[in-house]
Amino acid sequence: MRLPLIPPSELSPEQRALYNDMSEGIAANFKGFVAVREDGALMGPWNPWLHEPVFGKASWELVKALASNPSLPKNVREVAILVTGAHFKSAYELYAHVLVGELRGLSDEKIETIVAGLRPSDLTRQEAVAYDVAYALVNGAVLPQLLYKAAVEAFGAHGAAELSYLVGLYCLVSVTLNTFNTPVPVADD
């Protein structure tokens, strides 16, 4: 890990404001994995964002926009997030969203296949569209017209845009985690 976790007692005023907002959002929207150390220090992408609060605040605002009242089904969101995390081989991202994916109804087989960088054969139609869109976007180039049309048909124009922004956000999250070599939390024995 390249950035030490910041105990709440050591936060600057600018960091404190962001910390308070992120802590509230984590408690409300990010359950099923370890995101906060026992002393209150934030883990995962939230720690690098606290170290650079100008960038962190902007990143957090996008997280909040996509987490508040999403139109995409939870399983569809997780498929797109897992495809993105797998592409970047982002350890913390995969740790967190494997657990969240399980909570949101994805089978272990689907999750394992996506994490391995492969397309599961038993995806629902909406999951398949999310997989294909996320896969195409993280692998570069313009999203093919037929795939864009499939996303609009499956999720509406707003949902297709939300899917694109979700993939973009988790590209940012994965790159942030990889830049700072953010580890998976160690279980206490």
Is 120 in the same domain as 81?
Answer: yes
**pLDDT confidence of residue 186:** 82
Is 81 in the same domain as 154?
Answer: yes
Is 63 in the same domain as 78?
Answer: no
Compute CA distances 121 → 49, 114, 126, 127, 142, whole Å. Answer: 37, 10, 13, 11, 25
Closest CA to 64 of 91, 88, 28, 96: 28
Q: Which domain holds residue 49?
A: 8-67
Residue finishing a domain among 67, 95, 114:
67
Q: Kindly state whether residue 154 falls inside one of the protein's structural domains.
A: yes
Task: State residue 154 phi and psi, 5-degree precision.
Answer: -75, -35
Is 30 in the same domain as 86?
Answer: no
The HSE-up count of residue 121 (CA atoms within 13 Å, CB side) is: 0
Is 84 in the same domain as 171?
Answer: yes
Q: Kindly state whether residue 186 falls inside one of the protein's structural domains.
A: no
Compute CA distances 5 → 21, 48, 76, 85, whole Å. Answer: 17, 9, 32, 22
Q: Kindly state whether residue 140 falls inside one of the protein's structural domains.
A: yes
Is 41 in the same domain as 97?
Answer: no
Is 101 in the same domain as 142?
Answer: yes
What is the total count of domains within the chain? 2
Is 43 in the same domain as 78?
Answer: no
Sign of CA dihedral 101, 103, 104, 107: positive
Cα-based angle 122, 32, 109 (whole degrees, multiple of 5) = 20
**pLDDT confidence of residue 188:** 58
Closest CA to 69 of 33, 22, 29: 29
**pLDDT confidence of residue 1:** 86
Q: Kindly state whether residue 112 falls inside one of the protein's structural domains.
A: yes
Is 118 in the same domain as 29?
Answer: no
Ranges in the chain, pLDDT < 70? 188-189
Q: Kindly state whether residue 173 falls inside one of the protein's structural domains.
A: yes
Is 58 in the same domain as 27?
Answer: yes
Is 29 in the same domain as 12?
Answer: yes
Is 108 in the same domain as 128?
Answer: yes
**pLDDT confidence of residue 189:** 45
